[in-house]
Amino acid sequence: MFIHLDLDCFFVSAHRIIDKSLENIPVAVGGRSNLSIFDTKNQKRTISNNSGAFVGSIFTDENTKTFKEYYKDENGRIRGIITTSSYEARAYGVKTAMSVNEALKLCPHLLMIPPNYPLYHDLSQKLSALLKKEIPLVEQFSIDEFFGDVTGYINEDEVFDFANYLKQKIKNDLGLPISIGIAHSKYLSKLITEYAKPDGIKHIKKEHIPNFIKDIPIEEFPGIGKGYSQKLRGYGVRTLGDIKDKKELFYSWKKPGIQLYNRVCGINDRKLSTRRDKKSIGIGRSFDVVYERVELIRRAMILCRYLCFLVKKENVNPLTYSIFIKYEYGIKSKDYVNVNTIFNESDFKLKIKELFVKSDKHPKHGVIQLNITVSNFADNRKFTYNLFEYETDLKKKELTNKVQNLRDKFGIDIIKTASEL
């Protein structure tokens, strides 16, 4: 038996804990791409104590800023994207990923709040600790979502009361509203949670699942995105009931099709991932169009500095470096390079600079987004580095570690290289 727990309007609910005047009014949290990292002046930034797997690891506390300071740029334009909105705001059509400007047109009296990531991380960690004391197996699926396996621990005729106990404890201890879905399999419990919202509990027994899912649109099932749903509709699959009736079709698609079919039907979907190893670490920023390549390379080097800090925090050695460039007019370019060295900041910056020059396929077009990612982490017990460069790499790594220790103590901006100025 599985339970899925999803905090209701988490970011908004978090702010309501510390400001009761936000209750029962249209509220939204919206974020802006933090472009202050490209400023020449230093600024104190915080590293999350959380692993950073669910929201950004590097942040400044924007919650102290006013609407004008945070959401308006130097030209007075309203910027930012809605991250979370209250149910009162949703009644006016305010949605996640909508621009703040559009949201205010739909709901002129909408109260916009800058994000407070330290608060969200702290509450998420507290909820994780609470659940691990109450449930034998817990998987954190996102910053505000958790799965729990209570098989053999709670009888099915007692599981609703157990979920209600959890719900009340979370409300009493953390002040957060939460919705809970209960089913015999993992992803069906997540689907059912959508029908428990807001702030409710819903349990569908195994024998009632076929009737429950038969008319649900395929887009509502976790993991079926817009592109995949279009493909399914081409085969006449419009509801989850249609999927259940086309086993042969889905099994012909091998692993992805079999996995989806089994999840929808609740077959072999009983495994929680209690440990999440990162497969990549990345950082990126969107900004107003920039044409100067010298400035773009400078920004890429600044992103490298921040990414180096995160790599050091995770204590990993990436062997693949990637860059993504988005131009105006929607044009995109990306490239990667594989290396065989011990990770260090100087060599990393050099490789990224070379990657930028190589992948800049449209040098006359302005750029509006840069992303840098590292992946393919080495298993030091099995991997053999370049022996001819090993001693030199160790010295470079030692220097990188010393620099990062200073940044850890005094701030990420304390030491910059000439390429960033």
* Active-site annotation, residues: 145
Helix (H, G, I), strand (E, B) or coil at 64: helix
Cis status of the peptide bond prior to 136, with omega within 30 of 0: no
Q: What is the DSSP string of 322-335?
A: EEEEEEGGG-EEEE
Q: Are 264 and 221 in contact (CB under 8 A)?
A: yes
Q: What is the DSSP string of 179-234?
A: EEEEESSHHHHHHHHTTT-SS-EEE--GGGHHHHHTTSBGGGSTT--HHHHHHHHH
Residue 349 Rama label (left phi>0; alpha psi -120 to 50; beta): alpha
Q: How far apart are CA 2 and CA 28, in angstroms?
A: 31
Short-list 145, 135, 116, CA closest to 54: 145
339-349 core/surface letters (b: 16 or more CB in 10 A; e: else): bebbbbbebbb
Cα dist. 95→18, 67, 89, 329 in Å?
23, 19, 8, 25
Q: What is the DSSP string of 344-400?
A: -HHHHHHHHHHHHHHH---TTS-EEEEEEEEEEE--TTT----TTTHHHHHHHHHHH
